[in-house]
């Protein structure tokens, strides 16, 4: 007998389980499938920054709508807290100080408590930081980071309690379609017929979409991270830093560790065979960037390093929503290394879109796939230097894929 | 990046043997070890470089002009044969035509109630304390475990003036009669072991066979220990327990190869049931599945000092041949002689393996409150809870509980974890996966790395 569901969610990362949870909460009969363990892709090795600072209003609104879920996790989910509040700064070079002020204004406009710091103010707040090349910093006192595994686990439990069927180790071998309509999925264990399918398979999404002739403008890319043990003089946790001057980020982790993101430009990797070890040189680069911003990290020790991956879209922003010309298929993918902090709102918005035909918590129209065909990539009016992590040295500059 | 013909990692008997043989054939060798002296962890043990024969081996290696870097750790191997090195001050990468890994072995970590109490120490740790640092682990000591190493530890304890309350050997006495005929080919080993056994017995120490440690007692430190009868597979039997008042417990249930580097290098590994662990797959020349990467000594298959050195020689010959320093004919003659010696020594290893072969019952000792992962302080109960909730793979349990995410990268909890998940899910150990170590396999100073990066940049810009 063929199994049926209202909605099948393909992919058990943080966005997949959040969507399944929001659907189940509305009484939608939901099945979530993942080829491996939950959070086995980008989510499990995410640094899970929780911050609102973006240069575009759409992402900022999703992040702001998600924030209370992280901050009030115990009250809402009845599980141990997942959020650690550390404070957050986004630092930029002097040339972008003006843009930063505009973005802070935009963020305050949508309700985010954030201020601009001068280099001197940043130094007063984080005496360990080297601010000589910093023009300004955007400060969010309430931001921090989340525990990715516990977040996914919380969503999974809640979704299960609400009646969703969550099935890890069940690979979707293909999307089933008939006359430009997606009708379900094929798995190793058989067909599941569904009224709608949500493709939330991260780095694996493009391959599944190609199976029904849909070419998604996204590519899988590696993400490199190291964990360092801070020296005794930096024992107290520092804030979460996005360092736009140097193009990386770092944040504290339990146990006196600091996680450091290292720009990585390894595109078109195969997520099934990619090793989880760092390439040579990555650790050195991470050390160079970190010790420049926090000189006392010279006395830190590299404790471990790992390579993750995610699907990156052509404008390095998520693809959310329906696909023109294909019924029954919803996309929630290509989060481009930045999908964790917006997952709670993405879940709510996708459930609203599927059940009511329109997302009302946050307007997610801008994230629709059609933006690429229309030449309307997501880009705020006041950008910073392109993050080196977003560059592909062998192709056109990122962020302007359709304008030249 | 600097390059060298052959990097030998580890200056114990196996690494020294490989460095010596390769260098004798004209291979340019870089020998690296974390320690501050040649000899590795075997230093101070009979037949090892601490005693006259071993010291001679180290002297020979020095005399051949082998480049030696001590106090230096290897924290990664990249692109098949690029070796990442670090000292407290500097980091460096060396490209090699051949790598010989001789990382040695470590005491099998066995989680049981009380195993994290101060005063509970491994057999290897106890030997190092006594022989390298001249410190006794305690005044009243229980020695529990399996294999001839227990007798070595007990003898050292007695010589140092400690009281040994008992030696508890997990293997049943009757196994001895089964392997006895084959031991006749290795009378030297038999005699040595018998003499130790007799000395200990004559000192009035009870030597109990078919017993395992059940739990260590105490709150701030160990004050007592309980042992139980066990069956052939080391499963503790209910009801038959004995209690000893002690201030130290030495635990030695065999050694596990340190496979972090061969894992990081991408070498294929296989499950070895008699060991209860993974070992690198090797050709008869000691070459791993990665061309030009050789693994020798206890780091590949625990076999003791003599076998380790002999494996080093076999690999050294293979490296010389690989680099064109040995004619085909000379190579086959030398290689077969070296393998012949090894074959004889492996005989002892096989017999000892049959006598003291690992029993999976060992991993049934922990209870729900026992800490499994010491780095992240994850208990067995938390781990099993994740399994009951549906986690069926080592990586899933790791993601949920943080077990194995700490500094040791699962060296301590990994072997037990796989057995426990397999037991709880009724799967084979090989089906639940293994914790995969990644570079850095040793902590590296960030200052050293940052300086290395700036040096690399200035080189590029020139």
How is residue A209 written in tokens?
A: 């979409």
Per-residue model confidence (pLDDT) at position A401: 40
Per-residue model confidence (pLDDT) at position A255: 87
Asked if B182 and B175 touch (Cβ cutoff 8 Å), the reply is no
- B454 pLDDT band, cuts 50/70/90, is low
Sign of CA dihedral B404, B405, B408, B409: positive
Instruction: Kindly report, residue by residue over A7-54, the tens digit of the pLDDT.
Output: 999 999 999 999 999 999 999 999 999 998 899 899 999 999 999 999
Closest CA to B94 of B451, B452, B444: B452
Q: Is residue B440 reached through a cis peptide bond, with omega within 30 degrees of 0 on the bond before it?
A: yes
Per-residue model confidence (pLDDT) at position B47: 42
Instruction: Kindly report, residue by residue over B337-368, the tens digit of the pLDDT.
Output: 999 888 888 887 787 777 788 888 999 999 99
Q: Compute the distance between CA of residue B392 and CA of residue B401 in angstroms, rounded to an integer.
A: 13
More confidently predicted of A375 and B186: A375
Instruction: Kindly report, residue by residue over B245-283, the tens digit of the pLDDT.
Output: 999 999 999 999 999 999 999 999 999 888 888 999 999
More confidently predicted of A145 and B181: A145
Query: Cβ neighbours of residue A309 under 8 Å, at least 6 residues apart?
Result: A41, A42, A203, A220, A221, A222, A223, A269, A271, A274
Mean pLDDT of chain A, nearest integer: 94
Q: Compute the distance between CA of residue A248 and CA of residue B411 in angstroms, rounded to an integer.
A: 31
Average pLDDT (B73-77) is 95
Residues of A within 8 A of B408 (CB-CB) are none
Q: Compute the distance between CA of residue A367 and CA of residue A318 in angstroms, rounded to an integer.
A: 6
Cross-strand bridge partners of residue A139: A89, A115
Other CB atoms within 10 Å distance of the CB of residue B52: 8
Mean pLDDT of chain B, nearest integer: 89
Per-residue model confidence (pLDDT) at position B455: 62
- A400 pLDDT band, cuts 50/70/90, is very low
Answer yes or no: do A37 and B79 touch at CB < 8 A.
no
Count CA atoms within 13 Å of residue B212 on its CB side: 27
Question: Each residue of B358-385: b (16+ CB within 10 Å) or e?
Answer: bbebbbbbbeeebbbbbbbebbbebbbe
Per-residue model confidence (pLDDT) at position A404: 31
Secondary structure letter of residue A395 according to DSSP: S
Cross-strand bridge partners of residue A5: A194
Query: Cβ neighbours of residue A371 under 8 Å, at least 6 residues apart?
Result: A315, A377, A378
Average pLDDT (A341-349) is 98
Considering only CB atoms, which residues of chain A are within 8 Å of chain B?
A: 37-40, 44, 149, 153, 168-169, 228-229, 255, 275-281, 283-288, 290-291, 297-306
Average pLDDT (A256-272) is 95
Closest CA to B446 of A401, A290, A184: A290
Question: What is the C-alpha end-to-end distance of chain A, expressed in Å?
Answer: 52
Burial class (CB in 10 A: 0-12, 13-18, 19+), A402: middle
pLDDT above 80: residue A395: no
ipTM over 0.85: no
More confidently predicted of A55 and B396: A55
Helix (H) or strand (E) holding A20: helix A14-25
Answer yes or no: do B446 and A153 touch at CB < 8 A.
no
Instruction: Kindly report, residue by residue over B41-64, the tens digit of the pLDDT.
Output: 755 554 444 455 667 888 999 999
Q: How far is CA B96 from CA A188, B23, B30, B260, B266, in A?
A: 45, 15, 9, 19, 16
Q: Which of A360-374, A389-403, B91-105, B286-300 has the lowest mean pLDDT?
A: A389-403
User: Which of B396, B433, B449, B454 to probe the A interface (max A CBs under 10 A)?
Assistant: B449
Per-residue model confidence (pLDDT) at position B49: 43
Instruction: Kindly report, residue by residue over B401-446, the tens digit of the pLDDT.
Output: 888 888 788 888 888 899 999 999 999 999 998 888 889 998 899 9
Per-residue model confidence (pLDDT) at position A12: 97
The closest CB to that of B78, out of A40, A229, A280, belongs to A280
Asked if B292 and B81 touch (Cβ cutoff 8 Å), the reply is yes
Answer yes or no: do A37 and B399 touch at CB < 8 A.
yes
The closest CB to that of A298, out of B84, B93, B446, belongs to B446
Q: What's this model's pTM, rounded to 2 decimal places?
A: 0.86
Q: Compute the distance between CA of residue B211 and CA of residue B146 in angstroms, rounded to an integer.
A: 9
Q: Compute the distance between CA of residue A259 and CA of residue A248 in angstroms, rounded to an integer.
A: 11
pLDDT above 50: residue A213: yes
Average pLDDT (A85-90) is 98
Answer yes or no: do A279 and B78 touch at CB < 8 A.
yes
The closest CB to that of A288, out of B390, B391, B450, belongs to B450
Query: Cβ neighbours of residue A194 under 8 Å, at least 6 residues apart?
Result: A4, A5, A6, A7, A8, A31, A183, A184, A185, A328
Residues of A within 8 A of B385 (CB-CB) are none
Chain B nearest CA to A167, separation (Å) = 10
């Amino acid at each position: 007998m063929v199994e049926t569901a209202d909605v099948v969610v393909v992919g058990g990362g943080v966005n997949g389980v959040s969507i399944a949870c929001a659907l189940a909460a509305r009484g939608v009969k939901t099945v979530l499938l993942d080829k491996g363990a939950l959070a086995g892709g980008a989510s499990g090795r995410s640094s899970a920054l929780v911050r609102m600072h973006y240069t575009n209003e759409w992402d900022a609104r999703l992040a702001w709508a998600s924030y209370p879920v992280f901050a009030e996790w115990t009250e809402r989910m009845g599980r141990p807290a997942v959020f650690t509040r550390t404070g957050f700064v986004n630092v930029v070079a002097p040339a972008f100080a003006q843009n930063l002020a505009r973005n802070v204004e935009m963020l305050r406009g949508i309700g985010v408590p954030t201020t601009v710091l001068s280099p001197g103010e940043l130094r007063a707040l984080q005496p360990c930081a080297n601010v000589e090349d910093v023009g300004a910093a955007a400060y969010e006192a309430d931001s921090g980071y989340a525990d990715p595994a516990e977040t996914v686990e919380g969503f999974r439990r809640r979704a299960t309690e609400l009646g969703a069927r969550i099935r890890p180790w069940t690979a979707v071998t293909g999307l089933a379609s008939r006359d430009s309509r997606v009708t379900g999925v094929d798995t190793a264990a058989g067909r599941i017929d569904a009224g709608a399918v949500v493709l939330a398979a991260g780095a694996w999404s493009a391959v599944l979409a190609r199976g029904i002739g849909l070419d998604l403008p996204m590519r899988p890319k590696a993400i490199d991270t190291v964990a360092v043990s801070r020296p005794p003089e930096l024992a107290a946790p520092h804030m979460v830093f996005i360092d736009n001057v140097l193009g990386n980020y770092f944040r504290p982790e339990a146990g006196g560790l600091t996680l450091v993101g290292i720009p990585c430009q390894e595109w078109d990797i195969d997520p099934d065979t990619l090793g989880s070890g760092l390439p040579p040189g990555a650790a050195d680069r991470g050390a160079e960037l970190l010790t420049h911003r926090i000189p006392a990290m010279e006395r830190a020790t590299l404790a471990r390093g790992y390579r993750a991956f995610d699907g990156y879209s052509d404008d390095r922003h998520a693809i959310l929503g329906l696909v023109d010309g294909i019924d029954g298929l919803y996309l929630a993918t290509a989060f481009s290394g930045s999908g964790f902090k917006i997952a709670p709102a993405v879940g709510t918005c996708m459930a609203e879109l599927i059940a009511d035909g329109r997302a009302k918590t946050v307007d997610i129209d801008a994230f629709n796939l059609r933006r690429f065909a229309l030449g309307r990539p997501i880009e705020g009016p006041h950008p910073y230097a392109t993050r080196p992590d977003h560059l592909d040295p062998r192709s056109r500059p990122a962020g302007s894929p359709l304008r030249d | 990046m600097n390059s060298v013909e052959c990097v030998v990692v580890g200056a114990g008997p196996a690494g020294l043997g490989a460095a010596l043989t390769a260098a004798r054939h004209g291979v340019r060798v870089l020998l690296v070890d974390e320690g501050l002296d040649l000899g590795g962890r075997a230093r101070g043990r009979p037949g090892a470089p601490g005693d006259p024969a071993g010291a001679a081996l180290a002297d020979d290696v020095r005399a051949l002009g082998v480049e030696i870097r001590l106090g230096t750790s290897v924290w990664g191997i990249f692109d098949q044969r690029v070796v990442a090195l670090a000292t407290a001050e500097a980091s460096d990468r060396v490209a090699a035509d051949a790598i010989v890994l001789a990382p040695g072995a470590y005491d099998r970590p066995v989680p049981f109630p009380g195993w994290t109490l101060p005063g509970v120490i491994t057999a290897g740790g106890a030997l190092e304390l006594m022989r390298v640092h001249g410190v006794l682990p305690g005044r009243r000591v229980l020695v529990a475990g399996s294999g001839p190493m227990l007798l070595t530890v007990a003898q050292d304890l007695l010589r140092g003036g400690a009281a040994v309350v008992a030696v508890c050997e997990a293997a049943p006495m009757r196994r001895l009669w089964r392997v006895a005929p084959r031991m006749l080919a290795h009378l030297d080993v038999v005699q040595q072991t018998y003499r130790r056994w007799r000395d200990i017995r004559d000192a009035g120490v009870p030597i109990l066979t078919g017993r395992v440690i059940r739990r260590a007692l105490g709150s701030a430190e160990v004050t007592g220990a309980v042992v139980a009868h066990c069956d052939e597979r080391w499963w503790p039997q209910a009801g038959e327990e004995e209690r000893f008042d002690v201030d130290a417990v030495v635990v030695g249930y065999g050694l596990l190869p340190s496979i972090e580097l061969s894992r990081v290098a991408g070498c294929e590994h296989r499950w070895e049931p008699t060991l209860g662990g993974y070992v690198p797959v090797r050709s008869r020349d000691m070459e791993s599945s990665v061309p030009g990467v050789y693994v020798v000594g206890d780091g590949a298959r625990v076999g003791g000092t003599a076998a380790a050195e002999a494996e080093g020689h076999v690999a050294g010959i293979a490296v010389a041949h690989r680099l064109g320093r040995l004619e085909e004919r000379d190579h086959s003659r030398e290689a077969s002689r070296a393998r012949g010696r090894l074959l004889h020594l492996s005989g002892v290893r096989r017999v000892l393996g049959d006598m003291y072969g690992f029993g999976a019952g060992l991993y049934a000792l922990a209870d729900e409150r026992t800490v499994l992962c010491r780095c992240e302080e994850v208990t067995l109960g938390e781990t099993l809870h994740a399994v009951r909730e549906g986690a069926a793979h080592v990586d899933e349990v790791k993601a949920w509980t943080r077990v194995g995410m700490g500094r040791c990268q699962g060296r301590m909890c990994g072997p037990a974890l796989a057995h426990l998940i397999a037991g709880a899910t009724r799967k084979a150990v090989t089906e639940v996966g293994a914790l995969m170590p990644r570079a850095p396999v040793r902590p590296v100073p960030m200052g050293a790395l940052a300086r290395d990066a700036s040096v690399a940049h200035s080189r590029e810009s020139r």
